[in-house]
Structure 1
């Protein structure tokens, strides 16, 4: 029997690979893409090696004082139809993407700030093919809407850490589910997995995995997280959710029997730098490295377990909500829309706020009137139904409810369609 061992990183894990799909299959795609990159104001090409015969380009680019090695090549593409199972793609967009036969692949290593590297890669994609019809993020195994890509590339706010990876689920026998990420390796991290989930609990397990992955991308210290506890949430009884991860070969030993996600499922993939997520139920457990399975908390999730955002993500959401406030103004003209605004009400402690939802009533320039939709936790002098005027800088998030969907600052491009 072949010995179970860790595979070296695959090419799409070592570097970030994306495939830009143009609207037409032209002969001069690569030379035009290079010319467009050279015209970018934010970047400067330091080195340019163009292999015309093999249709491949290697560049060194200066972006905000950091130097990136960029590779470009022209080749074929075939997008799996299930990559387009998203409300972000209209039928005509899906049809064009599925018919596409040619793409420009752009690959690059991520430097110490993964979100900055990812943002640059999006900017380069839009610069190369301004009228792209879609972007396949090969490293994260997901298809990105051209509308979102353009919005994110043109924003002054960095993308969210959740954009840098995907969480996928494989359903096996007896409704068992194997959850795993794609895209974290390019960030210098380990991929993450939860084994032995099920259909009943997969959403809470998904939220836990997503939160943990975001936490690892956002954290300042870049030490190896394996074996170390991370406090990422609270259960309905107030009990802390402290997670850790260990390499998959070691993690499989914690299961007496595991079929879905076991050694047989790792012959062709999920066998490099990926780790299985476990719980530490107490400080004593962490000190002794006593691991518990995620499913041990399945009776304690309740309807709304609390998972934390990092301060960095909270600040990012706030900045994006304010940057995209014109979409709120636009949506407010349709009286069938309901718009909720999250306002930061200052507490007595300097720099601390209670973030609470209001319903928009009217807008006058950069000011707006809104009605409180819930009871505050820290303020006993205002209650649901309270109305007041606020400014754009008071906003920390917003949601627009239309007849067909809900729209946030991250999906504001849907109002442009």
Structure 2
């Protein structure tokens, strides 16, 4: 048995979905009747019905959200004393006290469902059921995403205003790497020489998992999360995976960047081979027989693939306009100071709506912890002035992404380029920002110059504090009473 038939189904948007499974650990004792009562009292879902399953004590909750028919499997179980919560993948730092309390909790609630056409909507609905059933949640576990741990604070913030969670909420990226065996170096000093990044969580989205193999050293992880994000969002938007064809994902100062998705069984044959895209076999002619388990040419080869990593997965390769051959990411990218990743119109609209609705969070932190607004100097020497001492020494940095309109005369096309600005002065919904990107399309702006902007221009924002970054999805961490500034 191999994956040969599953890939054409995934390419047609008819892949075999896995159930999405989450576990909620309550802070107080529960009974099935109490869970049923909470479902009866909630008003988020309508036309709810409960059907018990005599064999295991669980039940199905059938309901509607607007006109969409939904069905959840819910089961109250005794905690498994041998199961260990792994906080490696977590939405927040987990305190030792909270970890100990959740690990010793006697009960857990299992919530399963099948995602429908819009995975993010289904994901949100599953979170909502957890919030209803376990309002005193200690910790939640997304078992479908490698047991990713989430907190009650994160859960409640995701459900504010019915805004869509970020795409990367659906999965985690597992990084495996080796290290240089130089005996003269300590283990901390040994740099990885090859990498294997792969996802967990996409199989419930009518997609396969995705992976990137890098058989050489890289300077940083720059761009890798965005690569997965772009690929997943593109696939969700199209409700399928496009195989063996270049997918436009971004642009650097030297040209356009594409990725090509190839079934991993075939992809392993092309790592380091510079195969032309046009030379790839059609999907139905590829060989999907499992390979030699002793083969260990690079991380992610057959030697590293246990049974759980032999399910359908696509390997992502880099392709450029100038060189239409399959390359690994990110060799040679050390010289690229910036890459503009493409977002779909739907994703950009969702991000912009969220950033604007939560703009007050940003300005609140900016007023309290940001640099004092400065009056811009005019004249020839103004652009050579750097940050003030106060700004340079601050642990805080505030950035706003804005969509700036432009007109492409050659294509006769009106569009928006989304670029990052550092606020210099602000007053309510208006502010001045210093552009920190090199514009690709907007001809009337230059990196380092200051421009007037408004809340209507905003498509995203980020706050950097010490070693952390906070976005419209994670700003709750800075507002939490547990956060010390």
Q: State how many pairs are aligned.
A: 399
Aligned counterparts, 1:264-279, within 5 A = 264-279=303-318
Alignment match of 2:173 (pick from 167, 172, 176): 167
Cα displacement (A) at 1:242: 2.0
Q: 2:196 maps to what in 1?
A: 178
Distance of 2:228 and 2:444 partners within structure 1: 35
1:123 match: 128
Residue segments in structure 2 that go unaligned for 5+ positions in a row: 7-15, 181-191, 272-294, 371-395, 481-485
CA contact (8 A) 2:17 2:207 kept: no
Residue 19 of structure 1: aligned partner: 23
Counterpart Cα distance in 2 of 1:299 and 1:283: 14
CA spacing shift, 1:383–1:283, aligned 2, 3 Å? closer
Q: 1:298 aligns with which of 313, 326, 331?
A: 331
SS at match of 1:94: helix
Which segment drifts farther, 127-136 or 33-42?
33-42
Displacement of 1:374: 4.3
Matches for 1:330-369 after TM superposition, within 5 Å = 330-335=364-369, 338-347=397-406, 352-356=415-419, 357-359=421-423, 361-364=425-428, 367-369=429-431
Question: CA shift at 1:62, angstroms?
Answer: 0.9
- Paired residue for 2:56? 54
Contact 1:345/1:355 (8 A) holds in 2: yes
- The partner residue of 2:473 within 400, 410, 413 is 410
Unpaired runs of at least 5, structure 1: 286-290
Shift of 1:121: 0.8
Aligned to 1:398, which of 445, 448, 461? 461
Matched, 1:370 2:432: yes
The answer on whether the counterparts of 1:400 and 1:407 sit within 8 Å (CA) in structure 2 is yes
Q: Is the 8 A contact 1:45 1:59 kept in 2?
A: no
Query: Does residue 104 of structure 1 match 2:109?
Result: yes
Give the distance between the partners of 2:452 and 2:322, measured in 1 at CA. Answer: 45
Give the corresponding residue for 2:153.
147
TM superposition shift of 1:360: 5.7
User: Which of the pair has more CA radius of gyration?
Assistant: 2
TM-score, normalised to structure 1's length?
0.82
RMSD, aligned α-carbons = 3.4
Distance 1:167 1:389, change over 3 A: closer
Task: Return the match for 2:212 from 185, 194, 205.
Answer: 194
Separation of aligned partners in 2, 1:160 and 1:37: 27
Give the distance between the partners of 1:276 and 1:345, measured in 2 at CA.
34
In the aligned structure 1, how far is the partner of 2:467 from the partner of 2:331? 33
Q: How does 1:207-286 map to 2 (within 5 A)?
A: 207=225, 209-219=227-237, 221-238=238-255, 240-255=256-271, 258=297, 260-281=299-320
| Structure 1 residues 306-344: Cα deviation after superposition (integer angstroms, max 9, x where no partner) | 322222222111111112123124324424555333344
Q: CA deviation at 1:225?
A: 1.9
Separation of aligned partners in 1, 2:397 and 2:462:
8
Distance 1:8 1:93 in 2: 45
Alpha-carbon shift at residue 415 of structure 1 (Å): 2.5
Counterparts of residues 33-112 of structure 1 (less than 5 Å): 33-51=35-53, 54-75=56-77, 76=79, 78-83=83-88, 88-112=93-117
User: CA 1:105–1:8 in structure 2 vs 1: closer, same or farther (change >3 Å)?
Assistant: farther
| Residue 319 (structure 1) aligned to one of 346, 353, 358 | 353
Change (3 A) 1:340 1:360: farther
- Cα gap change, 1:343 to 1:251, in 2 (>3 Å): closer
Q: Report the Cα distance in structure 1 between the residues aligned to 2:451 and 2:57, rounded to whole angstroms.
A: 62
Q: Is the alpha carbon distance of 1:36 and 1:253 closer, same or farther for their aligned partners in structure 2, counting shifts above 3 Å?
A: same
In structure 2, distance between residues paired with 1:376 and 1:47: 56
Instruction: Indicate the larger mover: 147-156 or 192-201.
Output: 192-201
1:52 Cα deviation from its structure 2 partner: 6.4
Instruction: Please identify, of 340-349 and 173-182, the stretch whose mean Cα deviation from structure 2 is larger.
Output: 340-349
Shift of 1:148: 1.4
The question of whether the paired residues in 1 share the 8 Å contact of 2:230 and 2:341 is answered with no
Could you say what secondary structure the match of 2:261 adopts?
strand
The Cα of 1:19 is off from its aligned counterpart by 0.8
Q: Check the 8 A contact 1:226/1:244 in 2, yes or no.
A: yes
Residue 288 of structure 1 corresponds to which residue in structure 2? none
Per-residue deviation, residues 220-241 of structure 1 (Å, max 9, x unmatched): x324422232111234521x32
8 A contact 2:435–2:449 mirrored in 1: yes
